[in-house]
């Protein structure tokens, strides 16, 4: 039984090939659950993880939950039909609770196995909706997930010469939508270099290139 009424069938025979991570930006998990189950809000997710590690399924994974909204990944839209959405109980500014991260790892392991989704298919809401969304934000520990084989994290031995064309090409090949250069850099850094400032540099370029080797 689906706790949230906000769902429908996946379109055009599509199946989950992505997992999109979100933060709730609400006071607590109970508030988020009410919002995600409110038909007037027309928003939902497949899963909600509270700060204490409690995991609640809101929509069956076979169905299309309404979590991603407008955006693209790997040159294709309708991310809702191609993904599973996980809402994380976090305000967007605080560190993610240890119990929540432990629960997320357990949940992700099952999802990736059930749907044969590779680590590169686990993305941020911000990745597919640059400028519109920032979740799960700069405090999220992507490296921890990557070490468990549940996400990707690029490693580069040394910076390369800054090359805007190469950076754009590598970021787009990884999956990022076509947006203007400044927004692409901001979105890339939000996930892979939180806190980095200034114009495109050699570290950005090396990391983007390394993504295609992982």
Tell me whether residue 87 is one of the annotated catalytic residues: yes
Nearest CA to 26 out of 37, 18, 14, 17 is that of 37
Task: State how beta strands 47-49 and 83-88 pair.
Answer: parallel
- CA dist 110 and 92 (Å) reads 26
Please state, as a whole number, how many other Cβ atoms lie within 10 Å of the Cβ of residue 118.
Answer: 11
Written as one string, the DSSP assignment of 110-131 is: HHHHHHT--GGGEEEHHHHSTT
Q: Which of 62, 87, 105, 157 is catalytic?
A: 87
- Give the CA distances from residue 205 to residues 124, 138, 141, 183, in Å, rounded to whole numbers and listed in that order: 20, 19, 21, 15
* Cβ atoms of residues 20 and 66 within 8 Å: no
- CA dist 171 and 192 (Å) reads 12
Positions annotated as catalytic residues are 87
């Amino acid at each position: 039984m689906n706790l949230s009424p906000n769902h429908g069938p996946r379109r055009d025979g599509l199946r989950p090939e992505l997992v999109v991570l979100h933060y709730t930006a609400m006071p607590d998990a109970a508030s988020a659950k009410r919002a995600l189950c409110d038909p007037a809000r027309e928003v939902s997710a497949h899963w909600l993880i509270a700060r204490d590690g409690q995991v609640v399924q809101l929509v069956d994974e076979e169905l299309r939950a309404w979590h991603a909204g407008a955006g693209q990944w790997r040159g294709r839209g309708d991310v809702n039909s191609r993904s599973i959405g996980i809402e994380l109980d976090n305000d967007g500014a605080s560190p993610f609770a240890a119990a929540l991260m432990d629960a997320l790892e357990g949940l992700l392991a099952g999802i990736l196995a059930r749907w044969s989704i590779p680590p590169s298919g686990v993305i941020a809401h911000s990745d597919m909706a640059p400028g519109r969304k920032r979740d799960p934000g700069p405090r999220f520990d992507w490296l921890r997930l990557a070490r468990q084989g549940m996400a990707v994290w690029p490693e580069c031995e040394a910076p390369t010469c800054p090359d805007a064309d190469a950076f754009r090409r590598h970021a787009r090949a990884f999956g990022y939508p076509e947006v203007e250069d400044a927004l692409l850099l901001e979105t890339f850094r939000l996930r892979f270099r939180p806190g980095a400032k200034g114009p495109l540099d050699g570290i950005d370029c090396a990391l983007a290139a390394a993504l295609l080797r992982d």
